């Protein structure tokens, strides 16, 4: 629990009203007098006004809407709320020790500050940094390097020869370093191309549950510092993702695609391979990216927004005749040009 003055002392900002003690964070709709909430989106103003919350995080612009309430004024209420949430729910520190059922190869380096859970396997010549947490049933194969403070949730698999930076977090079920989908057709069958690269994850990367990042064919697949990848995402071999990019669930990035830094990629996005996406690109959910995006800061969205089946069928008829319509328009343009010349 923290008083408002203690919160602002730790996180900055300005408190106003009574210096109450708050014991938890909560959404406005169910917050109680001992809890703190926030207002970041104006459409929730009435909900926050009606809330029983003991304190509200607001911007300077909206603070005057709550003259009789206890508030903390911050430049970005949403970000500030996230930091308050971290105060109430701090990162769990590693409890040094190895569970009796864990298997650690003799050549692996595991500092005593690391927490190694039940049935964990650490392969030969793998090196862990200080204070890593490797929880139950996770596997880190041979010749891997993990930086300080990495956190592998239960049932994570890191294949051989992968490198994780400091403070990398891998959620349950994700697989780092499986073979890339590299095949050569012989004329009668497919010959698998050995995938001899690895995966490199930069500092502060977070990977969601059941996400797969494939190893490179000859060089590493790379995810840059501070990038956050959601659940059920596929990053194919030889991709490069820049720093501080976010990728939402069920997105598929095809092989050898290079994504810049500070990009925002929505859910269900798909890309073709061997393209480049510029820094600070914003891609809406469900969009298919079929060619490189070379200009930074652009926003792309799906061609077809949600529509009823009846609308889709009607529009589909026109789409099937676009080529004929194009020829007719070109013929009309040519005829008008002839008439103008006369």
Rounded to whole angstroms, what are the CA distances from 268 to 256, 284, 339?
Answer: 19, 9, 50
166 CB-near residues (< 8 Å, 6+ apart): 129, 147, 148, 149, 150, 203, 204
181 CB-near residues (< 8 Å, 6+ apart): 214, 236, 237, 255
Q: Which CATH architecture has domain 2-88?
A: 3-Layer(aba) Sandwich (3.40)
- The pLDDT of residue 305 is 72
- The pLDDT of residue 342 is 65
- The pLDDT of residue 311 is 87
Q: Which residues of the chain have pLDDT under 70?
A: 303, 342
- The pLDDT of residue 316 is 83
- The pLDDT of residue 303 is 67
Candidate list 142, 153, 171, 237, residue with the active-site label: 237
In tens, the pLDDT along 114-153 reads 999 999 999 999 999 999 999 999 999 999 999 999 999 9
- Residues across the chain: 342
- Cα–Cα distance for residue pair 50/37, rounded to 1 Å: 12
In angstroms and rounded to an integer, the radius of gyration of the C-alpha atoms of the chain is 26
Contact 45, 62 (CB under 8 A): yes
- The pLDDT of residue 314 is 87
- The pLDDT of residue 315 is 85
237 is catalytic: yes
> What is the residue-wise DSSP string for 264-319?
EE-TT-EE-SS-EE-TT-EE-TT-EE-S-B-STT-EE--SS----HHHHHHHHHHH
- The pLDDT of residue 264 is 98
In tens, the pLDDT along 200-246 reads 999 999 999 999 999 999 999 999 999 999 999 999 999 999 999 99
- The pLDDT of residue 162 is 98
Alpha helices in the chain (DSSP H): 4-11, 45-49, 77-88, 309-319, 322-341
């Amino acid at each position: 629990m923290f008083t408002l003055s203690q919160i602002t002392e730790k996180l900055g900002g300005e408190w106003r009203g009574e210096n109450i003690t708050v014991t938890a964070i909560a959404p406005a709709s169910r917050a109680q007098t001992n809890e703190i909430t926030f207002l970041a989106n104006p459409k929730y103003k009435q909900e926050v006004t009606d809330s029983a919350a003991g304190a509200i995080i607001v911007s300077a612009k909206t603070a005057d809407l709550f003259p009789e309430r206890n508030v903390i004024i911050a430049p970005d209420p949403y970000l500030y709320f996230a930091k308050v949430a971290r105060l109430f729910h701090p990162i769990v520190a590693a409890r040094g020790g190895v569970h009796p059922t864990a298997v650690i190869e003799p050549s692996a380096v595991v500092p005593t500050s690391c927490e190694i859970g039940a049935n964990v396997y650490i392969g030969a010549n793998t090196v862990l940094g200080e204070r890593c947490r490797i929880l139950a049933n996770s596997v880190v194969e041979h010749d891997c390097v993990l930086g300080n403070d990495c956190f592998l949730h239960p049932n994570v698999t890191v294949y051989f020869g992968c490198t994780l930076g400091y403070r990398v977090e891998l959620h349950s079920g994700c697989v780092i370093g499986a073979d890339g989908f590299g095949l050569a057709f012989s004329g009668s069958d497919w010959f698998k191309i050995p995938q001899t690269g690895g995966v490199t994850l930069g500092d502060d990367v977070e990977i969601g549950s059941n996400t797969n990042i494939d190893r490179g064919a000859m060089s590493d697949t790379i995810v840059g510092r501070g990038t956050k990848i959601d659940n059920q995402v596929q990053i194919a071999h030889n991709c490069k993702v820049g720093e501080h990019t976010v990728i939402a669930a069920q997105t598929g990035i095809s092989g050898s695609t290079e994504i810049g830094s500070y990009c925002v990629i929505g859910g269900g996005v798909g890309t073709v391979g061997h393209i480049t996406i510029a820094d600070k690109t914003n891609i809406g959910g469900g969009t298919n990216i079929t060619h490189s995006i070379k200009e930074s800061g652009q926003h792309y969205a799906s061609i077809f927004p949600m529509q009823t089946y009846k609308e889709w069928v009607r529009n589909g008829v026109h789409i099937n005749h676009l080529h004929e319509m194009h020829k007719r328009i070109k013929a009309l343009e040519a005829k008008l040009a002839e008439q103008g010349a006369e």
